[in-house]
Structure 1
Amino acid sequence: MFLDLLIRRNPKFIEAAMALHQQGKIPANAYVLDLDAVERNARLFSDVARGHGLTTFAMTKQVGRHSGFCQAVMRGGISRSVAVDMACALACDRAGLRTGHLGHLVQVPRQEALFAAAKLRPDYWTVFSDNKAKEAADASARAEREQALMARIQTEGDTFYRGHEGGFDANDILAVADRLDALQGGRFAGITTFPALLFDQDARKVVPTPNLHTLNMAAEALARAGRTEIEINAPGTTSSAVLPALAEAGATQVEPGNGLHGTTPLHAVEDLPEDPAVLYLSEVSHHHGGKAYCFGGGLYIDPVFPKYQVRALVSSSPTISRSALRNVEIPDYSAIDYYAMIDSDSDQNPAPGDTVVFGFRGQAFVTRALVAGIKGVDSGMPELTSIENGFGDHVSWPGAFAQ
């Protein structure tokens, strides 16, 4: 879905990644990042957000919490992360990107609360229930600090992905705020939901979900009760293009993830300011039954779009020529993605060792793919920065020994 965008708007990145793979410097089954483009995107986003009075927390899970990504985001002016889980918080913190928001989407496990409070010291900590609020506050009290708590709220008719459900009843927000304020070690700081925005496939635009209205209603109730200085965290499908609408809706915090590497759904249908800065790279392994099989491991295509014909650039040398485009069959989600199958019924069949480049909206942290950072693409002197796994740990890639 995003390969055409990459070819049009960041062709040097594709060619750099292919060249480094052919030189043996980037492994197959790797998400590859253009770190210079990430830095530009982060700077653009943070400038627009700041102009609308919005605080930005960077989401890093989609690119495997890569340390180079975290550092590029910081150079671009975003100093805090939103951690989808504790593994995310640990990786970002290790890279120097401190925790701005913890506990949303995934709550902090009970036995990890003290570490989160004492070591990570998040600016904001989201809780879904009184039990989780007490755990966060108790841990913070033991760490001799007061934690700003965000209440995740919901009401009938709100939109949730299956398995994401949970939160306080929005109709009880005044009582919830009082209960959180009464906790030793904690204080009520604001409200959040997910998703506040979603891409509408038919309209081909980003639209508010019922959850955003729920946030608005809760904020109005809090304001009538005298609680006017609260944070309103409104994540979901966040690019710089939607920031004016979020600010107008009352949001105070935004959390770009795919927006920082130019792969929100809106980027696929409209040229937005952020450049595409991530691709998935593989390599042809063997042939069978008229197909060329390429290595998998990271072929998780975020199902934000209906199924579509996946295509890839396949070549033994760097290219963005559309003659190198091939149709590819991706294994069903119920199968392990050991390989993908490339059409090879032509005069120029892909050969084992050829580079394969995909452009899709990925989620590196749920795969077994590696993540590689590149700098210097625009200068014409690209170089690999590091290869890491989905937890942001540096990896000694076996191919490096062949250099």
Structure 2
Amino acid sequence: MFLNNLVSQNPAFARAAIELHQSGELPPDTYVIDLDMLGINAETLCGEAHRLGLDVIAMTKQFGRNPVALEKLRASGVDSFVAVDMTCARAIRDADQPVGHIGHLVQIPRHSAPEAAAMAPQNWTVFDDTKAAEAAAAAAAIGRDQRLLARVYDEDGLVIETHAGGFDADDIEAVAQRLDALEGAHFGGITSYPALVFDREAHKVVPSPNLRTLSRAVERLHKAGWTDVAVNGPGETSTVNLAMLADAGVTQVEPGHGFTATGAYHAFAELPERPAMLYLSEVSHLDGDTAFCFGGGLYLCIGSVDYQPQALVGADYETAVKQRVDATLSQNHQVIDFYGRLAQTPQRSLRPGDSVVFCFRAQAFYTRSLVAPVSGIQSGNPRVEGLFTVDGRKVSV
């Protein structure tokens, strides 16, 4: 799965992580970013997106809104960044990067609307008229005219219950008129989530019903006279899926795992992107036939495929790549992941202090881990560019 890709497609990354851990430069419970590979992936993805006329608004939560990674992505062709919540928006702002999209997936709290408006977001998604009025009032108070995106759905759509909401697509013309009538804002487009989904049986990315909803809604808007309509289509974005979105009328894409090659689709096909993020830990102690490694970030995203988690374990890369062991992780989220459990080898060769390398579909912002961007891996000169919290603040450890 993802660990296979790491070893076969970017072994220099795994080697560098282990060496930097053994030298004390990287602590356990750290998401490590290969900045070189992140930039290569972004150049590939953004190049194809721009060829198709798509704006690239990068998702940042999966790598902990890291400011060094944001800078690398921007230099590699990303147009702007999507903030999944206000913490994310503040990290983007503090890194002096453009806020391309707020309000989707998480709506902006009422009393945070003025702060959000001051960030001059290029797109602000609203789920209903109340949230639209709050955004418009905040923008009007500082003399802005905010572009609003209406999240739309229909009865055949795919709804994620934990963040449901939006306008009925059958009423899109009336919705557009109401948003256009607001002082301080105007109707700028539509969005839905997810536009693409991973088919676990076919092992490929396919259009969700929501993509068809977006296509029908934009056709109606064009016929009604709205010619400049942004169509935001997030979800399961890779270089190879961009044409599918463009053909459906999408104008904005929001890759996240596409940049780090940790989307579910990467596990089953050799795609243009190569692994650029891993999770690093350390064997803490042994208990019988089990080795315990430090946790804190052992959260495998629910959008991932089902598989047996494994890790590379050893004090050097040559040893670790031969010691791929099964891992037992707390995935019911009712038990704090103080540790992960590793199956001891028949030779009982796992030892305290060994480096532990995982690769999975991560959501660093959800964890209490550190994030470490590392430059120079692909040229053989790895350099840790700092240690950061998952909300983008640099720390010393």
Instruction: Compute the TM-score of the two structures, normalised by the length of structure 1.
Output: 0.96
- Matching residue of 1:247: 246
Deviations 1:262-282 (A, max 9, x none): 111111111111111000000
Matching residue's letter, 2:221: L
- Matching residue of 2:314: 315
Matching residue's letter, 1:310: P
C-alpha displacement of 1:321: 5.6
Q: Which runs of 4+ in 1 moved over 6 A?
A: none
Asked if 1 retains the 8 angstrom alpha-carbon contact of 2:55 and 2:79, the reply is no
C-alpha displacement of 1:224: 1.3
Deviates more, 1:235-244 or 1:337-346: 337-346
For residue 319 of structure 1, give the secondary structure of its aligned residue in structure 2. Answer: helix
Q: Are residue 366 (structure 1) and residue 366 (structure 2) matched?
A: yes
- Please give the alpha-carbon distance, in whole angstroms, between the structure 2 residues aligned to 1:115 and 1:309: 43
- Please give the alpha-carbon distance, in whole angstroms, between the structure 2 residues aligned to 1:281 and 1:84: 25
Q: Are residue 13 (structure 1) and residue 9 (structure 2) matched?
A: no
- Please give the alpha-carbon distance, in whole angstroms, between the structure 1 residues aligned to 2:305 and 2:242: 26
Q: Are residue 148 (structure 1) and residue 151 (structure 2) matched?
A: no
Alignment RMSD: 1.1
- Please give the alpha-carbon distance, in whole angstroms, between the structure 2 residues aligned to 1:124 and 1:391: 22
- Matching residue of 1:304: 303
Asked if 1 retains the 8 angstrom alpha-carbon contact of 2:314 and 2:320, the reply is no
Asked if 2 retains the 8 angstrom alpha-carbon contact of 1:62 and 1:362, the reply is yes
For residue 216 of structure 2, give the secondary structure of its aligned residue in structure 1. Answer: helix
For residue 57 of structure 1, give the secondary structure of its aligned residue in structure 2. Answer: strand
- Please give the alpha-carbon distance, in whole angstroms, between the structure 2 residues aligned to 1:228 and 1:176: 15
C-alpha displacement of 1:211: 0.6
Matching residue's letter, 2:256: G
Matching residue's letter, 2:179: L
Percent identity of equivalent pairs: 47
- Matching residue of 2:393: 393
Deviations 1:156-177 (A, max 9, x none): 1211222110001111100000
Deviations 1:57-98 (A, max 9, x none): 010100100111101101101131011111111111211221
- Please give the alpha-carbon distance, in whole angstroms, between the structure 1 residues aligned to 2:186 and 2:319: 54
- Matching residue of 1:179: 178
Deviations 1:356-402 (A, max 9, x none): 000101100001111111000011110100111110011111xxxxx
Matching residue's letter, 1:258: H
Where do 1:3-402 residues align within 5 Å? Answer: 3-118=3-118, 120-319=119-318, 322-333=321-332, 334-397=334-397
- Matching residue of 1:400: none
| Stretches of structure 1 lacking an aligned partner (at least 5 in a row) | 398-403
- Please give the alpha-carbon distance, in whole angstroms, between the structure 2 residues aligned to 1:233 and 1:4: 33
Asked if 1 retains the 8 angstrom alpha-carbon contact of 2:60 and 2:81, the reply is yes
- Please give the alpha-carbon distance, in whole angstroms, between the structure 1 residues aligned to 2:255 and 2:58: 6
Matching residue's letter, 1:160: V
Deviations 1:210-246 (A, max 9, x none): 1111111111111111112100000000011100110
- Please give the alpha-carbon distance, in whole angstroms, between the structure 1 residues aligned to 2:267 and 2:58: 21
Asked if 2 retains the 8 angstrom alpha-carbon contact of 1:197 and 1:207, the reply is yes
Deviations 1:278-298 (A, max 9, x none): 000000001113100000100
C-alpha displacement of 1:209: 0.7
- Please give the alpha-carbon distance, in whole angstroms, between the structure 2 residues aligned to 1:348 and 1:97: 49
- Please give the alpha-carbon distance, in whole angstroms, between the structure 1 residues aligned to 2:203 and 2:304: 11
Aligned residues: 396
Asked if 2 retains the 8 angstrom alpha-carbon contact of 1:313 and 1:325, the reply is yes
- Please give the alpha-carbon distance, in whole angstroms, between the structure 1 residues aligned to 2:301 and 2:348: 31
Matching residue's letter, 1:268: A
For residue 58 of structure 1, give the secondary structure of its aligned residue in structure 2. Answer: strand
- Please give the alpha-carbon distance, in whole angstroms, between the structure 1 residues aligned to 2:339 and 2:32: 18
C-alpha displacement of 1:318: 2.6
- Please give the alpha-carbon distance, in whole angstroms, between the structure 1 residues aligned to 2:156 and 2:162: 16
For residue 99 of structure 2, give the secondary structure of its aligned residue in structure 1. Answer: strand
- Please give the alpha-carbon distance, in whole angstroms, between the structure 1 residues aligned to 2:72 and 2:211: 30
